[in-house]
Amino acid sequence: GWRFALPSAGGWEHDGQRGAGHRPGELIVQRVDGPVAIAIAGGAAWWIAGTAVSPIRRLTDAAESVAATGNLDQPVDRPGGDEVGRRASSFNAMLDALSTSRRQQRQLVMDASHELRTPLASLRTNVDVLRSGREIPADMRQAIVDDIGAEIDELGDLVAELVDLAADVREDEDPAPVE
Q: Is the pTM of this model over 0.85?
A: no
Would you say residue 51 has pLDDT above 80?
no
Mean pLDDT value of segment 25-49? 71
d(CA 89, CA 76): 8
3 state DSSP class of 113? helix
Ranges 30-39, 104-113, 142-151, most confident: 142-151
pLDDT for the residue 144: 92
Which residues, 6+ apart, have CB-to-CB distance to 74 below 8 Å?
62, 65, 66, 95
pLDDT for the residue 150: 92
